[in-house]
């Protein structure tokens, strides 16, 4: 309902995507000297991260993003991330892309739910941006782009009231409603139950500006406090130490939005149609045209402003697998429950003749790259080899 939600949704989901891609690329990389021509190296990883980040923080794209607008449908947003993930030499199969998107969305849903104050969603966003700046710390040009976005965020959001932030949070929660995909790393850390619902702690620091529950104060008609009483509950709360910083640089205090993946913790999901209410999800599929005019404009800007990365000469697209083996990826693609399929659709061009030519050109690039039959899949055999190590 809030028309200022999209930038926060986009940047935080993008941040999670980068954490996951970085982890997978590190897990699958070989030291430069030892690598064969078709293996991932550190240099490749940095290149992929740089390409994606510089696409994400493209100036015109950001300007479009920050305009007041409604949230996109899940399908439209998914298409944007599809495009983003393919902004470099990396390729993802449908199953891996699905899994990536599941992980991104469940992670941000968790962060939004557990934010102590609605305003803290901004701190979560800053945590993501701080980490992104770390990824490209040796590329001053891209660093500048990210800083510009940081300033735009501060300018747009720091002055909003708590009530407006709560509206943004409610808009985000509506977007994430009924998503209960189980994520291994969450299950292991006991932040998610086996039914897919997140654990909401009833202990710990209260939000900044809130008092620890328990005190009742009575005032007389002159406004003088005349009585105090206490009550106890099962909760075990404490006062917070300090507030996180909303400046360009600073200690955010909040841990939500920082990178929870590391090379040793694999990213897995369990596919479960755990939501009983398929009716609510099915309804989304009934919307006749998932792409509104504004969304098309937005996507056109994103795509139009890009140098489409065409693998040059002998260099083929590097495929990244979000699963441990190719067989797993294949199996996941076949067994994905119907109600959880994203059904990436090709965009239909609008009626305006001027747009049509431009968009037709762009649409050609939009479809998720299926493994090109002729080209050698990078690392295909190697993945199996590496997993055996």
Q: Which is nearer to another protein, 14 or 116 (CB)?
A: 116
Integer angstrom CA distances of residue 13 from 223, 227, 349: 48, 49, 27
Asked if residue 379 lies in contact with residue 39, where contact means CB atoms within 8 angstroms, the answer is yes
Min dist. Cβ of residue 191 to another protein (A): 10
Determine how β-strand 203-205 pairs with β-strand 236-238: parallel
**How many residues of this chain interact with another protein, rule: CB under 8 A?**
63
Q: Does 144 bind another protein (CB under 8 A)?
A: no
Show the site string, 233-272: x = touches another protein by CB under 8 A, - = not: xxx-x-----------------------------------
Tokens encoding 271: 């596919």
Q: Does 159 bind another protein (CB under 8 A)?
A: no
Looking at 234-313, list the stretches that DSSP marks H as alpha helix, in order from N- to C-terminal side.
Answer: 278-286, 293-304
Q: Among the candidate windows 50-58, 198-206, 247-255, 361-369, which touches another protein by CB under 8 A?
A: 198-206
Q: Does 193 bind another protein (CB under 8 A)?
A: yes
- Give the residue, chosen from 31, 141, 163, 313, that forms a contact with another protein under the rule CB under 8 A: 163
Residues 352-381 that bind another protein (CB under 8 A): none
Integer angstrom CA distances of residue 190 from 109, 193, 197, 199, 235: 16, 7, 11, 7, 18
What is the DSSP-derived secondary structure letter of residue 235?
-
Min dist. Cβ of residue 143 to another protein (A): 29
Tokens encoding 23: 């982890």
Place of tokens 């599809």: 82
Residues 114-133 that bind another protein (CB under 8 A): 116-118
Q: Among the candidate windows 49-57, 88-96, 211-219, 358-366, which touches another protein by CB under 8 A?
A: 211-219
Q: Among the candidate windows 96-104, 224-232, 261-269, 310-318, which touches another protein by CB under 8 A?
A: 224-232
Min dist. Cβ of residue 65 to another protein (A): 13
Q: Reduced to 3 states, what is the DSSP secondary structure of residue 90?
A: strand
Question: Whole-angstrom Cα distance, residue 177 to residue 200?
Answer: 16
Show the site string, 284-303: x = touches another protein by CB under 8 A, - = not: ---xxx--x-----------
Please count the other Cβ atoms lying within 10 Å of the Cβ belonging to residue 215: 10
Q: Return phi, psi of residue 319, to 5°.
A: -95, 135
Q: Does 1 bind another protein (CB under 8 A)?
A: yes
Min dist. Cβ of residue 174 to another protein (A): 6
What is the DSSP-derived secondary structure letter of residue 192?
B
Nearest of 79, 95, 70 to residue 3 by alpha carbon:
70
Integer angstrom CA distances of residue 133 from 2, 140, 226, 252: 28, 10, 54, 15
Q: Which is nearer to another protein, 262 or 285 (CB)?
A: 285
Element (DSSP H or E) covering residue 347: none
Q: Which is nearer to another protein, 232 or 264 (CB)?
A: 232
Asked if residue 145 lies in contact with residue 136, where contact means CB atoms within 8 angstroms, the answer is no
Q: Among the candidate windows 36-44, 209-217, 251-259, 314-322, which touches another protein by CB under 8 A?
A: 209-217
Q: Which is nearer to another protein, 214 or 371 (CB)?
A: 214
- Give the residue, chosen from 137, 177, 346, 375, that forms a contact with another protein under the rule CB under 8 A: 177
Q: Among the candidate windows 32-40, 120-128, 282-290, 366-374, which touches another protein by CB under 8 A?
A: 282-290
Question: Whole-angstrom Cα distance, residue 246 to residue 249?
Answer: 8
Question: Where on the chain is the footprint of another protein (CB under 8 A)?
Answer: 1-4, 68-70, 73, 113, 116-118, 161-164, 166-167, 169-170, 173-174, 177-178, 180, 193, 197-200, 202, 206-207, 209-221, 223, 226-227, 229, 231, 233-235, 237, 276-277, 279-280, 287-289, 292
């Amino acid at each position: 309902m809030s028309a200022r939600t999209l930038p926060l949704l986009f940047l935080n989901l993008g941040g999670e995507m980068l954490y996951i891609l970085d982890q997978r690329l590190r897990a699958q990389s070989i030291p430069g000297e030892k690598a064969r021509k078709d293996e991932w190296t550190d240099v490749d990883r940095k290149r992929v991260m740089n390409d994606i980040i510089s696409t994400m923080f493209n100036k015109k794209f950001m300007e479009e993003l920050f305009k007041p607008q409604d949230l996109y449908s899940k399908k439209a947003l998914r298409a944007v991330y599809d495009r983003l993930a393919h902004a470099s030499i990396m390729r993802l199969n449908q199953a891996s892309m699905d899994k990536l998107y599941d992980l991104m969305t469940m992670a941000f849903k968790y962060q939004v739910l557990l934010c102590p104050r609605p305003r803290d969603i901004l701190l979560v966003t800053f945590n993501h941006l701080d980490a992104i700046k770390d990824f490209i710390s040796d590329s001053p040009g891209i660093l500048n782009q990210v800083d510009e976005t940081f300033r735009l965020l501060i300018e747009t959001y720091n002055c909003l009231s708590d009530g407006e932030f709560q509206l943004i949070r409610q808009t985000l929660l509506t977007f994430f409603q009924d998503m209960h995909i189980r994520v291994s790393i969450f299950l292991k850390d006991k932040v998610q139950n086996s039914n897919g619902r997140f654990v909401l702690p009833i202990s710990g620091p209260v939000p900044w500006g809130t008092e620890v529950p328990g005190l009742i104060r009575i005032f007389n008609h002159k406004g003088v406090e005349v009585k105090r009483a206490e009550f106890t509950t099962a909760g075990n709360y404490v006062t917070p130490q300090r507030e996180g910083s909303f400046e360009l640089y600073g200690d955010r205090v909040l841990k939500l939005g920082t990178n929870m993946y590391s090379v040793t913790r694999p990213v897995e999901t369990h596919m479960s149609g755990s939501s009983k209410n398929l009716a609510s999800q099915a309804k989304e599929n009934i919307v006749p045209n998932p792409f509104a005019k504004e969304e098309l404009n937005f996507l056109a800007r994103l795509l139009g402003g890009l140098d489409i990365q065409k693998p040059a000469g002998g260099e083929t697209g590097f495929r990244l697998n979000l699963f441990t083996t190719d067989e797993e990826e294949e199996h996941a693609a076949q067994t994905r429950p119907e109600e959880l399929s994203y059904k990436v659709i090709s965009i239909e061009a609008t009626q305006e003749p001027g747009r049509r030519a431009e968009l037709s050109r762009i649409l050609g690039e939009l479809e998720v790259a299926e493994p090109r039959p002729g080209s050698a899949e990078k690392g295909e055999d190697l993945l199996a080899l590496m997993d055996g190590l």
